[in-house]
Amino acid sequence: MKKTILSLSGLFLAVYGIVSAVLYSNVNWYRYFVIGGTLFLAWLNDRLKNDSLFEKKGKALLKSYGLYLCYGIIIEVIGMAILKLWHYPSFGLAEFIINVILIAYPFAFFFIYESFKLMRVSNLALAIGITSLINAFLHEVPNTFAHNWIYTIPYIKLEILQINIVVIVGWVILILLPVIAQKIWLCQDQR
């Protein structure tokens, strides 16, 4: 019962996040979306007897969170600070640390992994490709209304639904990071 309430709350939060981005240009939409979406997808995986966030205990959950936090910091240092491929026009430093580093990246990676686990495709490359496309559009399209982050990708102007093709292709990397991490931990746990 508790998981069902969490999942329905998660679904409500995720839908609220998308609606607030699209209708109200709410720059804080993403935190609702990734937290809520993670809870809902974890519940779906739990119901389907897949590996799920709900199965992780405290230490494993903190380990995943810490790794995803590190991934986020590395991505921001390379993509935003060094390459200057995007920026956050509405966030000061404190808001950036809370909303992007502490919430958005870790929960986005939880969301990504939960969505990947829903793929019942035997071909790993196909599963990664489908998950990448679905997540790219789910995470990026609402932002075209809210402008929480703005891409500044030079030279390549090809877009699909106002999303630069480089961003869409970049989602393959974002899908691979939690999938590889979970595979490594699974192998370590089996030793």
| Residues 29 and 17: beta-carbon distance below 8 Å | yes
> CA 66, CA 78: separation in Å to the nearest integer?
18
More confidently predicted of 43 and 1: 43
Whether residue 33 is predicted with pLDDT greater than 60 in this model: the reply is yes
- Examine residue 167 and state whether it is found in any structural domain, yes or no: yes
- Examine residue 156 and state whether it is found in any structural domain, yes or no: yes
Mean pLDDT in residue range 58-84: 93
Whether residue 185 is predicted with pLDDT greater than 70 in this model: the reply is no
More confidently predicted of 187 and 165: 165
Mean pLDDT in residue range 147-162: 92
Whole-number pLDDT of residue 189: 56
Please report how many Cα atoms fall inside a 13 Å half-sphere around the Cα of residue 151, on the Cβ side: 19
Task: Band the pLDDT of 187: cuts 50, 70, 90.
Answer: low
Whole-number pLDDT of residue 188: 59
Mean pLDDT of the chain: 91
Whether residue 191 is predicted with pLDDT greater than 80 in this model: the reply is no
- Examine residue 37 and state whether it is found in any structural domain, yes or no: no
| Residues 144 and 159: beta-carbon distance below 8 Å | no
Q: Which residues on adjacent β-strands are paired with residue 163? A: 160
Task: Band the pLDDT of 171: cuts 50, 70, 90.
Answer: very high
> CA 108, CA 116: separation in Å to the nearest integer?
12
> CA 77, CA 48: separation in Å to the nearest integer?
37
- Examine residue 41 and state whether it is found in any structural domain, yes or no: no
- How many domains, in total, are found in the chain? 1
- Examine residue 80 and state whether it is found in any structural domain, yes or no: yes
- Examine residue 19 and state whether it is found in any structural domain, yes or no: no
Instruction: Give the least confident one: 90-94, 104-108, 121-125.
Output: 121-125
| Residues with Cβ within 8 Å of residue 44, at least 6 apart in sequence | 7, 114, 118
- Examine residue 139 and state whether it is found in any structural domain, yes or no: yes
Domain interval for residue 141? 57-190
- Examine residue 51 and state whether it is found in any structural domain, yes or no: no
> CA 109, CA 38: separation in Å to the nearest integer?
9
Give residue-wise pLDDT tens across range 107-152: 999 999 999 989 877 888 898 999 999 999 999 999 999 999 999 9
| Residues with Cβ within 8 Å of residue 37, at least 6 apart in sequence | 10, 13, 14, 17, 111, 114, 138
Quote the radius of gyration of the chain (alpha carbons, Å). 16
